[in-house]
Amino acid sequence: MVEDEKLVSEVQSLTARLAEARASVERRFVGQHAVVEQVFAAILSGGHGLLVGQPGLGKTMLVDTLATVLGLGTERIQFTPDLMPADILGSEVLEVRPDGSRAFRFIEGPVFTQLLMADEINRASPRTQSALLQAMQESEVTIAGKHRPLGRPFHVLATQNPIEQEGTYPLPEAQLDRFLLQIDVGYPDRDTERAILLATTGIERGAAHAVFDPAGLIAAQALIRRMPVGESVLNAILDLVRAARPGAPEAPAWMAETLVWGPGPRAAQALTMVTRARAALNGRFAPTIEDVEAMAAPVLRHRMALSFAARARGDSIQDVIDRLLGDRMRAAA
């Protein structure tokens, strides 16, 4: 009982800090509350996020503002076709010492930071994209046969333009799966765009301030993992993820001709984590079914592939997710 009361008190304190952090971010990144919520959920869950949206929607500014609010060191990499893995990871150089002897010295690349922005990640070659795989999964890199751990915390927020495909290299499924969430950044509504104009074209612009520091963020991530998940929520996650796998016993009949492949256990893990994070962001001590439904799309949309027949019908991944959620809600009714 004492332990439960302590957990409740800690979650209450974290919720207050998160509310301040969100308010600080939204002073610069106006509107788009769902996007801000999903980015915070990815970071609080200890994962990485893929921001997908057309140019000019504020993705870069959002990452920069988030680094300020979370108190994290940040680096930015502009991905281009001629970018090499060493440009990301770093390399060894031969150095001549004052006594005339020579030795190799490792120069760290931008991946050795706490919040890495990978801008237009799909513009680099697969070889360069894969340089991030080990870093994202294991928080270390191997260079010249030596394992070099990255600092903590370490997060990657990558951006991608969904409409411009010339000169790009689609991310392989293995790398997409490393992103905890795919966060779609859409056009703002009229009222939000009006607020953006007023906030960004005057003499004074909104400023963000630090609310967390690295140690505080790590503590928050540990607290998120301690939040309980009810049996009904766990079952809802399992039902949803397993229903999205063609050929699985739980999958509906229409799934076999709609998807080529579906989400693996990593999707269920991601959904379990981000529902906890969303609960904390909204002042609750445990996730609910509403959290599962709200976070299903960003967790699943990059972990499924449509069949040729589904694409010919004009189906989208979002249509599949909406239909799965509709089936689940009808079954629960």
Q: How far is CA 312 from CA 101, 216, 255, 302, in A?
A: 66, 49, 15, 19
**pLDDT at residue 91 in the model:** 84
pLDDT bin (cut points 50, 70, 90) of residue 1 is low
Over range 92-115, report the average pLDDT: 84
* pLDDT surpasses 90 at 219: yes
**pLDDT at residue 66 in the model:** 93
**pLDDT at residue 330 in the model:** 63
Q: How far is CA 122 from CA 16, 42, 135, 330, in A?
A: 37, 20, 17, 39
**pLDDT at residue 173 in the model:** 81
CA distance 255 to 250: 10
- Of all residues in the chain, the percent with pLDDT exceeding 90 is 52
**pLDDT at residue 167 in the model:** 67
pLDDT bin (cut points 50, 70, 90) of residue 183 is very high
Read off the pLDDT of residues 283-312 as tens digits, 9 standing for 90 and up.
Answer: 999 999 999 999 999 999 999 999 999 999
Read off the pLDDT of residues 118-164 as tens digits, 9 standing for 90 and up.
Answer: 999 888 888 888 888 888 888 888 887 788 888 889 999 999 887 76
The class of domain 229-333 in CATH terms is mainly alpha
- Identify the residue with better confidence: 55 or 115: 115
Structure tokens at 136: 């994202």
* pLDDT surpasses 70 at 333: no
* pLDDT surpasses 80 at 67: yes
> Could you tell me the pTM of the whole model?
0.91
Chain-wide mean pLDDT for the chain?
88
* pLDDT surpasses 80 at 17: yes
